[in-house]
Amino acid sequence: MPQNLKILKPGGKVSFAPSILSADFSCLKKSLSPADKCADWLHVDIMDGHFVPNLSFGPHIVKCVRKASKLPMDAHLMVSYPENFIKPFYDAGAGLITLHYESKSDILKLLKKIKRLGAQVGLSIKPKTPLSKITKYFKFIDLLLIMTVEPGFGGQKFMTNQIPKIQYARKKINESGRKIWLQVDGGINSETALQAIDAGADSLVMGNAFFSSSNPVKMINSIRLYNRIT
Ligand code: DX5
Ligand code: ZN
């Protein structure tokens, strides 16, 4: 049974989700050990070489990640046909499954399918997609993911032109009265994390900056401190 992210306390505090795309798979357990010490959950990027020009992991790898870390996982499905992958990744251990609005699917049907399985539900938009396309789905989701890079690769630069979208998403989530994580993914480091938090994000994905840091635990703790004092 996948671990649910509901065990985490929403509201106010920022959660950190290292993206395992940048982990060292030659020594996975060791590479994930700093995440076990300071992160809230792991972010698993699933790419099909069609929706994005890159390939990543299948369910077997996600099962192995589950054994290598005690953290819950969210699966970010960057795939054209998510219906084929929801159950396999849930069974592999992802407690929250995020779809892309831009995938070639009946989004509402799939959001309901994720919920029926017992997983939490995420919905993501690419940088060029306006938030107005997805506000109608707010009542069906637990997490809204705003991409701050074009999806497909780790280590890209944070797109500051997405900040107004994060601010607007925070406003719309607050107005909805629902408890929805506002996750930001792409180019997050110790500086852009603060910009995303200021804009209203409460879940930060961090790939390259986390796994290339000499002291990721200290970095995350200092961002948490900023979050407490602002
Ligand atoms: C990009 C992925 C991201 C990526 C983030 O398509 O969705 O989750 O791993 O990596 P960084 O933090 O390196 O931009
Ligand atoms: Zn991602």
pLDDT bracket for residue 227 (50, 70, 90):
confident
d(CA 101, CA 165): 15
Average model confidence (pLDDT) for the chain? 95
Residue 45 in contact with residue 19, Cβ under 8 Å? Answer: yes
Closest residue by CA, ligand 1 atom 9: 154
pLDDT tens across 27-51, in order?
999 999 999 999 999 999 999 999 9
Closest ligand 1 atom number to CA of residue 150: 6
AA identity, residue 22:
S
pLDDT bracket for residue 2 (50, 70, 90):
confident
d(CA 170, CA 178): 11
pLDDT tens across 116-143, in order?
999 999 999 999 999 999 999 999 999 9
Position 18 pLDDT exceeds 90: yes
AA identity, residue 50:
H
User: pTM (2 decimals)?
Assistant: 0.96
Catalytic residue among 48, 142, 185, 202: 185
List alpha helices for 55-213, DSSP H: 59-68, 86-92, 107-117, 163-176, 192-199, 208-211
AA identity, residue 129:
T
- Domains, in order of start, for the chain: 6-229 (3.20.20.70)
Catalytic residue status for 48: no
Structure token pair of residue 45? 């990027």
Catalytic residue status for 45: yes
pLDDT the model gives residue 144 = 98
